[in-house]
Structure 1
Amino acid sequence: MGLKYVETVKSIVLILLVALSIILTFSIWTYSPRYETIEQFPPVDISIGDKKRIDEIIKPYKMVFNFDDALKGTTDSDKIDRIMEEITDWKITEITTVEENFTSEGISTLLRKPNRFTVFFQSEIPLSVYDSVLKIEAPTPEISFNQIVVEWKPDNTAMTVYFVSKENKKLYSAKVKAEDYQSLDNSILTVGRELQEYREVNPDSSSYLVVSVEPVETIKYTFLEDEVSINKFRDALFSDVNAVRNSQVGIHVEELADDHAMMNVYTEKKTLNYVSPNAESQELAIPSELLINTVNFVNEHGGWTDEFRFTYMDAETRSVRFRLYLHGLPVYTDSSSSAEILPKWGKNRIYSYARPYYRLNSSNPAKSEIELLPPGIDIAESLRKSDKLDIGAVEEITPGYFMKYKPGLFIMEPAWFYLINGNWNRFSPEILGGELIGLE
């Protein structure tokens, strides 16, 4: 009898253990811990200013029409935009190489011929970047240009587009479909004939330089000082803002740094310079990639605080320049501040980034007054008479603004500027009597 009870007890214990195991397993499967509610914060907005399209950043600064009986041109941004709206609707095909060694003499000969107009850009532009602006119905080669020449034939509907690369000494041609000739004849040439009269400075020279014969109406502006908070640039440029250390390293210099990058802020000049040393690269950049990468970088944090345009690129140093423009005219200044955004691209990311952090409220100046600049041809004649330079070395003469920065005020003075030996200089009779001064 004792053994029977033992077996019975064993069975009961076994049943209880199995039941307990089932209960525990079920409890584990169905267990749901009670977490405290975590507050959800909205994503941090690091946008500082605007994002820009390629056609807003890469823009021509001058157009010149060579008719049979007249030379007409403009630097007026609104008129140039009106013509470019027509050109960007053309269907461009059959891009081919015409000249592999296209010298300055060849360029001048091409531009001097009648029945054509020339679109001037500040720097060489990769066609594979600008094909987002033009309608190119053909494979886009890895070529660059700084002038577009459109040739038309009055006796038929044929048009040829030339892409001129002064830097690489190359000439390329392309065809435009016949149906686009109506746009040229009805709109572009009509606008072209209404432009200001222009004149060539040195008709017998190997270089082609044309300027206005009439005075240029401009506006002198005064703006109240405004600036972007440095914290916005800190948030945009540093990966962990909590790790950024802030220190005063000079009377007008602040330093923000973490273990990977550093940003100096020059409070007197209203400029900053960011550097990420580990991103430095000595590799020769591909121009199209360099330009796109730097534009995308500035777009990522909405860095276009005013109107800036592409003006220069160096694939060897991996650097790009975007100059401040005001109502379509370039802005230059002296060492008291800066009028350029200067990114350098490194290993898959930005290496250095120098720029102003002031902001112009261009639609709401504190003061404005009309000011007439003398004709460009008068400036050319004054330069010709100067014993301080060779007029043959002058590459360009164009109107613009000289920015004077005073605490609390930005004063934009209209002036003529000339390009010589790769540097822009402000024209003034006083300066011509002394040393040439390069501008920022």
Structure 2
Amino acid sequence: MSYENIKTIILTILVVTSALLTWNLWTYQPNFERIEKESNTVQEVTIAEKKEVNQIVRPDTLLFHLGEKKTFGTVSPGEIDKIMKDISDWNFADFENITEEAGILPSFVHDEGKAVLAFPDSVPIELYKAVIKIADKNLPDFQFDHIVIDTRQVEKKDGIVDFVSMDNRQVFRSRVPVSFIQNFKSQFFNLSEDNPEYKAYFAYKPTDERTIYLPSQDTKMARYQYLEKKLDSEQYKNALFSDPSVVQKSFQQSEDEYNDTLSLLRVNSDKNTLRYVKPAAGDNPTFPSGDLLKRSIDYINGHSGWTDNYQFAEIDELNHRVVFRMYDSSGYPIFSDDPKISEIRQIWGQNEIYEYYRSNFQLGLSAEPPSEVSLSSGTRVLEYLIGLEGFEPELLENVKLGYKMMLVKEAQTTFIRLEPSWYYRYEGTWKSISLDETGGMNNGLE
């Protein structure tokens, strides 16, 4: 075989080999094992459930001023839900500031023929666009704590609904199709006197700028007792820290402590509290104050943290603080002494949470059948408060029926008791008036 033939054979082998390698490269499919998503991505932590704005930011009192000094009201979630469902489709439009025309706000709000939805604290209208239909493209930026429906305008072209802020002394008027007001008046307003969910209310005016409405008769409420259901601290660690894998856990006295050098989570088994703090967040938020409530709701929704029936209760824009409070199924707020285990509190820093505080438990199974308690009328409560030594009526901000939450530990079991009580807000603080064994009242000022 000549040298030239050998070269030809080698060249042919190389060409064939190259062609085979090229074909294999083009057609090769690696047999990778399926990568399990669960083991390679950070999972969203789901502690309880998410909630919509309308489930969290709600009126907690509904009043109908029928005329001739007759007012009927309710705190029933079912009745309030009917009203909110009805007005959510009303197409509110043509908002205008009529503060100068309104005059003295309590008289304006609680005038004859008005239906009043009272919220626990100020609500940004921008947030409430998620609840009601608003047609205005250039909606003014304002807050409100009362929605006032004027049922006297049924013969006119447009119906009137006012959004009132008692705190800011402002009134913004909107227009709705009058047919909605007509239907509302016939289906709800005119029937309230015969509806067993509504009770007679009366007005008390501690000052010219404030009117408080209370039930005229005694009120029957249920007394509850539940088993405590502990929340999983590890779930909160995974939910609140940006990188749970670097979090260190330690135990100090009655506290489980988690930290990652930037943040700290303490779960106290004696006080039944959970407190997460991130000092690096600072104390000067750079987001608009109107975003405060929305961010607070989104934060809890981020880890599905609504473990019980929490509702928006308070907002302090100056200190960047938002409070959500537990309510019972009948619509009464639930209070607790320090520590505030019936609340979720948030304080915001620069674009992120600074402090997140709540209980480390939720209501478990009912431990015994509810028992009924009769609480004194609003008239009797006011007589008692006004008769207290040192009581100044102008410092009285509100009076409500509610529940006092207490934890009782027996052997290896912890019970959560909800005791019916009158509450009043005095100089910015909620205080209780508890029934004693003789049916009298214990002074919450002591």
Could you state the TM-score of these two structures normalised by the residue count of structure 1? 0.88
Quote how far apart the aligned CAs of 1:238 are: 2.5
> Alignment partner of 1:381: what SS?
helix
Quote how far apart the aligned CAs of 1:64 are: 2.0
Which residue of the partner structure matches residue 413 of structure 1? 419
Alpha-carbon distance in 1 for matches of 2:346, 2:206? 39
> Alignment partner of 1:214: what SS?
coil
Residue by residue over 1:172-231, the C-alpha shift from the partner in whole angstroms, topping out at 9 and shown as x without a partner, is: 111121111232221121343333222222387442122111111110101111122112
Which residue of the partner structure matches residue 52 of structure 1? 51
Which residue of the partner structure matches residue 72 of structure 1? 72
Quote how far apart the aligned CAs of 1:247 are: 0.5
Is the 2:87–2:132 Cα contact (8 Å) retained in structure 1?
Answer: yes
Quote how far apart the aligned CAs of 1:129 are: 1.0
Quote how far apart the aligned CAs of 1:37 are: 5.8
Quote how far apart the aligned CAs of 1:40 are: 5.9
Q: Does 1:252 align with 2:257?
A: no
Alpha-carbon distance in 2 for matches of 1:401, 1:319? 23
Which residue of the partner structure matches residue 232 of structure 2? 229
Quote how far apart the aligned CAs of 1:260 are: 3.6
Quote how far apart the aligned CAs of 1:135 are: 2.1
Which residue of the partner structure matches residue 433 of structure 2? 427
Q: Does 1:146 align with 2:182?
A: no
Alpha-carbon distance in 1 for matches of 2:21, 2:201? 94
Which residue of the partner structure matches residue 180 of structure 1? 180
Residue by residue over 1:364-417, the C-alpha shift from the partner in whole angstroms, topping out at 9 and shown as x without a partner, is: 453310111100121111111112221222111110000111121111110011
Alpha-carbon distance in 2 for matches of 1:22, 1:115? 91
Change in 2 beyond 3 A, CA 1:40/1:77: closer
> Alignment partner of 1:167: what SS?
coil
Structure 1: gaps of 5 or more residues: none
Which residue of the partner structure matches residue 436 of structure 1? 445
Which residue of the partner structure matches residue 192 of structure 1? 192
Moved more, 239-248 or 307-316: 239-248
* Matched residue type, 1:254: D
Quote how far apart the aligned CAs of 1:337 are: 5.0
Task: Name the Cα RMSD after superposition.
Answer: 2.8
* Matched residue type, 2:375: L
Alpha-carbon distance in 2 for matches of 1:138, 1:365? 51
Change in 2 beyond 3 A, CA 1:176/1:26: closer
Change in 2 beyond 3 A, CA 1:203/1:18: closer
Change in 2 beyond 3 A, CA 1:93/1:242: same
Which residue of the partner structure matches residue 19 of structure 2? 22
Could you state the TM-score of these two structures normalised by the residue count of structure 2? 0.87
Which residue of the partner structure matches residue 262 of structure 1? 264
Alpha-carbon distance in 2 for matches of 1:259, 1:211? 50
Quote how far apart the aligned CAs of 1:325 are: 0.9
* Matched residue type, 2:72: K
> Alignment partner of 2:186: what SS?
helix
**Where in structure 2 are the equivalents of 1:330-345 lying within 5 Å?**
330-336=333-339, 338-345=341-348
Change in 2 beyond 3 A, CA 1:311/1:219: same
Residue by residue over 1:149-179, the C-alpha shift from the partner in whole angstroms, topping out at 9 and shown as x without a partner, is: 1222277255321111122221111112111
Change in 2 beyond 3 A, CA 1:338/1:347: same
Is the 1:86–1:183 Cα contact (8 Å) retained in structure 2?
Answer: no
Alpha-carbon distance in 2 for matches of 1:144, 1:7? 95
**Identity percentage of aligned residues:** 27
Quote how far apart the aligned CAs of 1:85 are: 2.7
> Alignment partner of 1:387: what SS?
coil
Is the 2:286–2:350 Cα contact (8 Å) retained in structure 1?
Answer: no
**Where in structure 2 are the equivalents of 1:180-329 lying within 5 Å?**
180-194=180-194, 195-202=198-205, 205-249=208-252, 251-283=253-285, 285-327=287-329, 328-329=331-332
Quote how far apart the aligned CAs of 1:35 are: 4.4
Change in 2 beyond 3 A, CA 1:198/1:33: closer
| Aligned counterpart in structure 2 of residue 358 of structure 1, from 361, 364, 367 | 361
Change in 2 beyond 3 A, CA 1:24/1:333: same
Q: Which has the larger radius of gyration?
A: 1
Is the 1:393–1:421 Cα contact (8 Å) retained in structure 2?
Answer: yes
* Matched residue type, 1:422: G
Is the 2:206–2:394 Cα contact (8 Å) retained in structure 1?
Answer: no
| Aligned counterpart in structure 2 of residue 129 of structure 1, from 114, 127, 130 | 127
Quote how far apart the aligned CAs of 1:283 are: 2.7
Is the 1:101–1:169 Cα contact (8 Å) retained in structure 2?
Answer: no
* Matched residue type, 1:222: Q
* Matched residue type, 1:233: Y
Is the 2:273–2:360 Cα contact (8 Å) retained in structure 1?
Answer: yes
Alpha-carbon distance in 2 for matches of 1:289, 1:153? 35
> Alignment partner of 1:113: what SS?
coil
Alpha-carbon distance in 2 for matches of 1:398, 1:40? 50
Alpha-carbon distance in 2 for matches of 1:293, 1:332? 24
* Matched residue type, 2:55: E
Structure 2: gaps of 5 or more residues: none
Change in 2 beyond 3 A, CA 1:17/1:349: same
Quote how far apart the aligned CAs of 1:27 are: 4.2
